[in-house]
Amino acid sequence: MSLHPFEHLTPHFILDAVESTGVFSDARIYPLNSYENRVYQIGIENASPLIAKFYRPNRWSKEQLMEEHNTLLQLKKAGVNVVSPIEFTGETLLSHKGFRFCLYNKIQGQSPDADNMDHLFKTGELIGAMHREMQPLSLHYRKPLAPLDIIKEASDKIANSNRIQNRVKPIYKRLIDDITVKATQSLTTHWPETLHLIHGDCHRSNLLLHDDQLSLLDFDDCTLGPQVQDIWLHLSGDLSMQKQQLSELIEGYECHHSFDHSQLTLIDPLKAMRIIQYSAWLHDRWEDPAFPKAFPWFASEDYWANHLSQLKECLNQWGELSH
């Protein structure tokens, strides 16, 4: 059985890659919580640790990764608090024996509190500043966000998989059909004519709070899409709480950038898309040894019961956040 590509990332390989940039490690390696890529804290002799990010092979092209890095450098230059890759002789995207990687300075901090209204206001401010500076930028090598295509591709993958029990498949397919009808109505009516550059995966874990200052990281999924995609992922709790959170986020956002309130109708299809896509992501990555260890419950009866419950909840609450 052939090794998964990430199994080649031995401590010796990682240190060789990092030291190929000219820095010297003290051989301390600490793996960080990342599954799509592999991320490590690397101790550096007589200096602060660095963060090494090794990209998943064959996911993004060199051009796509360079667009991500260039976006981060532009945001940093504009004064937006983002964690950008370090340049070595003018290059941020590095390679070592078939792996593309980059290095970041370590930023101290923790994720903001989900129910802290001050944190949510600051989050909105940061996203608004980011969108303002990204508006003139563009992407040429990445596909724009296309929720209906993603819902269809991901749900077809699951429906045709042996990871979902046969008795569950008809229920799953009916829910997907109902979601597709509602999503088509929402997206046809309110999808913006012009899409702008967004973070794409702007959840709480991709924010670091330190000394009352927020920084945004991990632009791996940056794409062209509606501005609300970077906002709704910060909502949690019951509907009443989510409406309060949304108000704080938008108020902070509008300190730096105008917000199209008609996009609130897009939250429901975007949420459904993410729930469906998450299952397909686990399915696609199951051959990566890290996934069965980290997600042992995937494809169990309890997992699918909870998944169906999430889809039903999406349908039951459809439109309530935008009213």
What are the chain's domains? Answer: 5-105 (3.30.200.70), 117-316 (3.90.1200.10)
pLDDT tens profile 225-262: 999 999 999 999 999 999 999 999 999 999 999 999 99
Q: Is the pLDDT of residue 184 over 90?
A: yes
Of 26, 118, 177, 201, catalytic? 201
Decide if 218 is catalytic. Answer: yes
The predicted pLDDT at position 214 comes to: 95
Beta strand 47-54 pairing with 99-105: antiparallel
Decide if 177 is catalytic. Answer: no
The predicted pLDDT at position 271 comes to: 97
Prediction pTM value? 0.95
> pLDDT-derived band of residue 322, with 50, 70 and 90 as boundaries?
confident
The predicted pLDDT at position 4 comes to: 86
- Asked whether 3 and 16 are in contact (CB, 8 A), the reply is no
What's phi and psi for 196, nearest 5 deg?
A: -120, 165
Of 218, 220, 268, 288, catalytic? 218
Helix pair angle (147-159, 267-284), 10° resolution: 40
